[in-house]
Structure 1
Amino acid sequence: MEWKQIVGFYHVARLGSFTRAAGVIFKTQSALTQQIKALEGELGFPLFERIGKRKLRLTSAGEKFFAFAEAILSKYDSLMEELAELKGLPIGRLRIAAPFTTLYHLFPEVLKEYVKQFPQVELTVLDRSQQNVIELVKNGEVDFGLALESAVPKELTKIRWKKVEAVLLAPAGHPLAGINRVTLKQIARYPLILPPKTSEYTGRIKLEELFRELGINYRIIMESSNVELSSLYVETGLGISFATIVKGMPALKQRNLEYISLGHILEPGYIAVVMRKDKVLSAFKSAFINTLLDSF
């Protein structure tokens, strides 16, 4: 068994395609196919089965070998990072994924401080939806993700970072702004701007459940997956919206909006740092988490 066979197999399994994997490891598809055939011959088991013309699926033996390949490649990366640190060079890769709003409002100063401490780290930051962030962490494609704690599955490790509170976004001077504890019946009098109705946006699901339980009719005038876009249209007077925000965030003051607390209706949550339970952290990766937590 050769190292290049393990690497080739891992990328085919991860990407579900010989063509895409060949592009990643800079080999021809035919050369990669021969490597996998040789590996299967040595192991005595097929590792893939084809579903139709294009789709690949791991066999039982393939699943076991994928777990082995994933573990050994992770240990290799950690070893190379540790050896670099022994030389006094914190050289390695740090991959992070987070939703746009988190990256836009909460991350710039954190990254600025981290890059200043570790300029030789190869940093990659991905703007992704919360659901996609969790999948990237699960698949080992990023070291850390940032997502709402309530959305993180049990098989992943989560570290609380910042508390978020549910608020109603309304135009400045809106009638609801003068009410101490706004009710759902009062909210339903106005057109609503809500996120798409998917499992990723648990706040909308909870709100609609409450509306139904109370028998309250409501009207959705717009769907938006981006709080910045929702805020823009709230400012124009199109409707009112909901958001989970970090209280006191400086950027909030730049908007011509009212932020009306919904803490009596929806419980507060937390943004969490997410990683795999089997993740081995080198010193410069641990330092990133420390920088993040110190910012709070």
Structure 2
Amino acid sequence: MEWQQIIGFYHVVKLQSFTKAAEATFRTQSALSQQIKALEKEFDCQLFERAGKRNLRLTAEGERFLSFAELVLRGSEDLKENLEAMKGNNRGRLKIAAPFTTLYHLFPEAVRQYASQFPEVELTLLDRPQQMVIELVLSGDIDFGFALEKVIPKSLSAIRWKQVETVVIAPTGHPLCALRRVSLKQLAKYPLILPPKHLQHTGRILLEKEFQKNGLDYRIIMESSNIELSSVYVELGLGVSCGSIIRNLPHLKKRKLEFLSLSHLFGPDHIALVMRRDKATAPYKQAFIRSLLGERSVESKDQTAT
């Protein structure tokens, strides 16, 4: 078994294509195919099931080998980072994923300062919905991500960052704004702007469950993947929206909107930093975490999401 065979196998799995994997690893498709065949011959098993020209599936043996490959490649990256740190170098890669709203409102200044302080770090930011953030963390494709604490599996390490509150977003002067407390029955009377169903957004799932449990009919007039877009159409009077927000964000305060608490129906939550427990954290990565979460962040790495 050779190093290049492991790298080639890993890229075939991730890219679901021998052609793309060959391009990504700077070798011919024929050479890559031969390396995979050599692995299968060495271990006397089939690693892939080829169901048609474009459908690659791992066999049970392939799944086991993928776990091994991920462990080896992750160990290699950790070793490189440790050796650079021993030399006093802050050089390496940092890959982070978070939903649009988090990146838009909470990251810009921290990213600007970090990029200035660590110019040799190859920083990559990904705009991804929460469920995809969790998947990327679990697969080891990113160093860490940001998501609501309630969606983070207990197998991952999570550090609380910002508290959020579930609210109704309504245009100023809307009838709901005159109520002391918004009930589900009152909310269901108005067209709703909610996250797309395929994103499996926890807020929408919980809200729809409550509607159904109480036998309430409701109408979704628009699906929107972020609060910023929803707010535009709420302000136009198309409907009302529900979402988890941090109070007093400047961008939202500029709009003619009211934020009506639903804390009596849905408890508070937190945006949390999430990472794998077996993921090494190089000094330059710790520096980014500290820039957002403060000194408590490193000591809190083993905190489990609840």
- Give the TM-score normalised by structure 1: 0.93
What is the CA distance between 1:115 and its match in structure 2? 1.9
| Alpha-carbon contact 1:168-1:259 (below 8 Å) kept | yes
* Cα distance in structure 1, aligned partners of 2:79 and 2:257: 50
Alignment of 1:142-153 (within 5 A): 142-153=142-153
| Alpha-carbon contact 1:151-1:200 (below 8 Å) kept | no
* Cα distance in structure 2, aligned partners of 1:14 and 1:293: 32
Number of the residue aligned with 1:282: 282
Number of aligned positions between the proteins: 296
Is residue 101 of structure 1 aligned with residue 101 of structure 2?
Answer: yes
Number of the residue aligned with 1:291: 291
What is the CA distance between 1:231 and its match in structure 2? 0.3
1:168-204 deviations in Å (ceiling 9; x for gaps): 1111122222322122222222222122234621212
Alignment of 1:219-238 (within 5 A): 219-238=219-238
Number of the residue aligned with 1:25: 25
Name the CA shift for 1:37/1:295 in 2 (closer, same or farther; >3 Å).
same
| Alpha-carbon contact 2:47-2:62 (below 8 Å) kept | yes
Alignment of 1:1-296 (within 5 A): 1-198=1-198, 200-294=200-294
The one-letter amino acid of 1:178's match is A
What is the CA distance between 1:295 and its match in structure 2? 9.8
What is the CA distance between 1:285 and its match in structure 2? 1.3
Partner-residue secondary structure (3-state), 2:170 = strand
1:133-154 deviations in Å (ceiling 9; x for gaps): 2222122111111111111223
Moved more, 286-295 or 176-185: 286-295
Moved more, 82-91 or 23-32: 82-91
Name the CA shift for 1:100/1:199 in 2 (closer, same or farther; >3 Å).
closer
Partner-residue secondary structure (3-state), 2:294 = helix
- After superposing on structure 2, the runs of 4+ consecutive aligned residues of structure 1 that deviate more than 3 Å are none
| Alpha-carbon contact 2:167-2:244 (below 8 Å) kept | yes
What is the CA distance between 1:227 and its match in structure 2? 1.4
| Alpha-carbon contact 1:182-1:262 (below 8 Å) kept | yes
* Cα distance in structure 2, aligned partners of 1:63 and 1:240: 46
* Cα distance in structure 1, aligned partners of 2:82 and 2:246: 36
Unaligned residue ranges in structure 1 (runs of 5+): none
The one-letter amino acid of 1:32's match is L
Name the CA shift for 1:215/1:47 in 2 (closer, same or farther; >3 Å).
closer
Alignment RMSD (CA, Å): 1.8
* Cα distance in structure 1, aligned partners of 2:173 and 2:123: 43
Name the CA shift for 1:113/1:218 in 2 (closer, same or farther; >3 Å).
same
* Cα distance in structure 2, aligned partners of 1:112 and 1:66: 36
Moved more, 165-174 or 189-198: 189-198
Unaligned residue ranges in structure 2 (runs of 5+): 297-306
Q: Could you tell me the percent identity over the aligned residues?
A: 60
What is the CA distance between 1:9 and its match in structure 2? 1.3
The one-letter amino acid of 2:159's match is I
